[in-house]
A and B are shown apart, each in its own frame.
Chain A
Amino acid sequence: MKVFFRRLALYAFALWSFFPLYWLLNTSFKTSKDALARPPTFIFKPIMKNYTEVIKNNEVWGYFVDSLIVAFGTTLFGLLIGVPAAYVLARFKFRGSADFGFWILSTRMTPPIAMLIPFFIMYLKLGILDTHIGIIIAHVGLNLSIIVWLMRGFYEEIPMEIEEASYVDGSSFFQTFYKIAVPLSMPGISAVGIITFLFSWNEFLFALVLGDSVVRTSPVGLYGFVGYQKIYWGQLSASASLLLIPVLFFVFLFQKPLIKGLTLGSFK
């Protein structure tokens, strides 16, 4: 009985999560008249036009590639920079470590409006406007706080005996870190990696202001379908639906570690 109710709740929540996406998919197969019809149509004559237009549209492929480069770059560099910092904060107490940790957190607190023009000017002067590396740097900065704090949480769950044993055996700090700590936390790393990937893939504001014609990620590009006194629903919904495929693919690839991962040692 309990199982029945639990399943009911789980599937209801799944329906809730899926419905707007279902509506989006629905819309992508409709003509513009059907998309806004009253009453809303669930059964209709589907058209493939939106998809063929989007697939033929080189720009949309461009958005996809740009998003891929930026999201991957962000995840890679974010982890490279954030994981070591997290390890140190989890393992060592030193003067100012609490404040340092909080400072990292505070970088996430400023409302973007305060950062837009200064960022733009910095990037303009440094000549990295409208470059992939530029946006990657910005995204890493935006997400470092969560990478560091989450990984710190995971490291705090890993028992220290193995590392302490390694020190006793004479390994240096660095060796212990990358030979033992990192592999042990792989699952945690992939978890944080996915979160970072998703954040970067869907980030809009900075990709908009710091990118332009050369680098146009998908959130920015898809916004172009919201025209002046016109919304290109067909292409918007088709592109968004298609873009889900690579994202879900990557998430699926990392799912096992994701779950096993947030999973570690014992918890006192």
Chain B
Amino acid sequence: MSQFRKEKNRFIFLMLMPATILLVGLTLFPFIVSFILSFTDYSLLRPGQTKFIFLNNYIELMTTDEFWIALRVTLVFTILAVFIQVVLGVTFATLLHNENTNVSLLRTLYLLPLAITPIAATFTFRLMFNPSLGVLNYFMKLLGLEPQAWLASPNTALFSLILVDTWQWTPFILLICLGGLASLPNEPFEAAKVDGASSWQIFTKITVPMLYPFIGLALLFRSIDAFKTFDIIYVLTSGGPGILTRTLNLYAFKHGIEYLSMGYAGSIAIVMLIITIVVAQIFLRKNKLLQPKDTLK
């Protein structure tokens, strides 16, 4: 091996080592524990009596209605929420990018949902959604609309949660897109204007395609996180009404922490992990984001 090769390999190794050590140390043990537990009937109620039950947890999972309902709820929530957030994030990032007055102020305001302590924000929403005392229904009545039950009604509960999640996380997408936009070269835009293209055409045929890798990253991370959403659902609806907003993560929490069946909860977690891995792999491969395009020689 040439000296160069050796040095290159050593460099790569050293640069990756701290991250590897940290992540292996932190995630390997929990993963192995959860993985093994998912094949047992481990319950904190009977700590000494754990038996291997192999695939029984998984079989039970696949054959209960509750799992499939939770899966459906999680998918609907994730897909709708992320879609709305990406559309809003990209749109407002573009609008802000083209704006020239009060940009700093607007940017700060847009970041607020990410800066505020989540528990305070969530309880504020709980208060605002309150059907009799909350400010949302107050505005509904002012506008002559029917006051809604929001979090209590089967029709509006999931939508209300998506609203809260959107409020909280659109800034994340917006931030990433804003940066991406600032990095785009000016020539294509100028050329298009000279050619007489409309704003809409510029947006759809130039902006979005060029911004694509950033949108892709934002979408990827937001999806991974949205799939695991817990806090807002727990505080606002506890998975209700009925089990209409009970996502897989809440389902796992109930069985793990409330019923203390950690083996069963572990199997739910592993299933969630598998789904995420598969979808992420498909997404990354399709968009060729797994490997860098050019490398150093």
The answer to whether A and B touch in the complex, with CB atoms under 8 Å apart, is yes
B-binding residues in A (CB < 8 A): 2, 6-7, 9-11, 13-14, 16-18, 20-21, 23-24, 27, 35-40, 80-82, 84-85, 87-94, 97-98, 100-115, 117-119, 122, 137-138, 140-141, 144, 146, 148-150, 152-153, 156-157, 160, 163-164, 167, 172-174, 177, 188, 191, 195, 198, 202, 204-205, 218-219, 222-223, 226, 231, 233, 236-237, 239-240, 243-244, 247-248, 251-252, 255, 258-267
B108: contacting residue among A110, A223, A251, CB under 8 A: A251
List the A side residues contacting B16 at CB < 8 Å: 84-85, 88, 100
0/1 per residue, B108-132, Cβ < 8 Å to A?
Answer: 1111111111111101110110001
**Chief secondary structure at chain A's binding surface:** helix
List 9 A-B pairs, minimum CB-CB distance, nearest first.
Answer: A262-B179, A240-B120, A263-B182, A114-B269, A118-B30, A84-B15, A114-B34, A173-B11, A141-B26
B64 in contact (CB, < 8 A): no
Taking a contact as CB atoms under 8 Å apart, the answer to whether A109 and B19 are in contact is no
Determine if B65 is an interface residue (Cβ-Cβ < 8 Å). Answer: no
Contact of A236 among B12, B92, B123, B138 (CB under 8 A): B123
| Contact A110–B273 (Cβ < 8 Å) | yes
Residue numbers in B under 8 Å from A152 (CB-CB): 292
Check B119 against A222 for contact (C-beta < 8 Å).
yes
In the bound complex, CA of A260 to CA of B116 (Å): 24
Q: Which residues of A contact B257 (CB under 8 A)?
A: 113
> Are A251 and B115 in contact (CB-based, < 8 A)?
yes
Smallest Cβ-Cβ distance to A163: which chain B residue: B296
Total interface residues on B, CB under 8 Å, equals: 103
Q: Across the interface, which residues of A come within 8 angstroms of B104, CB to CB?
A: 255
Q: Is the CB of A218 within 8 A of B112?
A: no
Stretch of B94-102, B148-156, B236-244 that contacts chain A: B94-102
The reply to whether A248 and B295 form a contact with Cβ atoms under 8 Å apart is no
Contacts of A110 in B (CB 8 A): 27, 30-31, 34, 269, 272-273
A-side contacts of B221, CB under 8 Å: 108, 146, 149
